[in-house]
Amino acid sequence: MSLTGFVAAIIIRALVASGPAGLGALFALMAVESFGIPPLPSEVILPVAGIILAGGSAGSTIEGVSIPGDPWFTWPTVMVAAVGGGLTGAIIGYELGRVLGLPFVHRIGRRFGLEEKDLQRAQAFFDRRGPITVLVARLVPLVRAYISYPAGAAKMNRPKFAVYTAIGATPFTYVLVYLGVVLGTHLRALQLFFQALDILVGVGLVAFLVYAVLRLRKRRQRTEQETKGTSASPEG
């Protein structure tokens, strides 16, 4: 079983709970996905919801789990649960970013190469283009789960943040749910979809590790230069 398939199996078991519990699970999963901790792929959650919406997988199984249909899963209920959950998680992330923005920069941010000037630049950027940034970021996988934190730290207008988050999340949600409706009758294609996600996740992790190593090396070089400069300064 692939990494994405393992995560998918957990998600599927949560979503196939009968009645309102399944929709509640969809709401909760999307809230966690939008919050970003721990990372959950909406690219798996929403297609599975689409399969259930379409009436299940006709007795077949995905990642060893059978997916039945559920009359509670309709287009209106699925969209409300998914977008509502995503908006809830985004607001939580926004509020944390708003409250912990400066302390994060001063106490934790330096571990990631962040400084106070980074937050000041972010705040200026969101002051000028915040709403559009949030809207576009909601259409980008991975980025969409973490955009709430800088938006909160930059103290973007709350109502604007909520409105643009919902606007950006709605088409993203609809497309992925519809993908599940279509792929529900083509399970082999869905398996290939999960494998492709595995590759994307792997590439993303490698890119993050390379970035982290380069940032750490740059920081060490800057520290060494500052140390040499201090030791070379004339006394008196």
pLDDT category of residue 193 using cuts at 50, 70 and 90: low
Whole-number pLDDT of residue 205? 61
Q: Which two tokens stand for residue 29?
A: 């999963």
Range from 11-25, 84-98, 204-218 carrying the lowest mean pLDDT = 204-218
Distance CA 119, CA 115 (A): 7
Structure-model confidence comparison of residues 16 and 186, the more confident one: 16
pLDDT at residue 68 in the model = 80
Nearest to 6 by CA among 146, 189, 158, 195: 195
Q: Return the H-helix or E-strand segment holding 174.
A: helix 158-183
> DSSP letters of 17-63?
STTHHHHHHHHHHHHHHHHTSS---HHHHHHHHHHHHTTEEEEEEET
**Is the pTM above the cut of 0.85?**
no
Across 67-89, average pLDDT: 93
Beta strand pairing call for 56-62 and 65-68: antiparallel
Q: What is the mean pLDDT of residues 179-194?
A: 69
How large is the average pLDDT for residues 43-62? 78
Residues 6+ apart with CB under 8 A from 90: 34, 35, 147, 148, 161, 162, 165, 169
pLDDT value for 31: 95
Q: What band does 27 get if pLDDT is binned at 50, 70 and 90?
A: very high
Burial class of residue 187 (count of CB atoms within 10 Å of its CB; 0-12, 13-18, 19+) = middle
Q: Give the three-class secondary structure for 9.
A: helix
**pLDDT bracket for residue 25 (50, 70, 90):** very high
Residues 174-185 have a mean pLDDT of 85
Asked if pLDDT for residue 84 goes beyond 90, the answer is yes
pLDDT band at 61 (very low <50, low <70, confident <90, very high): low
pLDDT at 222: 76
Mean pLDDT of 116-120: 57
Q: Which residue has the higher pLDDT, 120 or 24?
A: 24
Cβ distance 154 to 126 under 8 Å? yes
Higher local confidence (pLDDT), 169 or 221: 169
How many alpha carbons lie under 13 Å from residue 170 in its C-beta half-sphere? 9
Q: pLDDT tens for residues 131-153?
A: 677 777 676 666 676 778 778 87
Share of the chain above pLDDT 90, in %: 21
Query: 51 or 190, which is more confident?
Result: 51
> What angle separates helix 42-53 from helix 187-232, to the nearest 10 degrees?
160
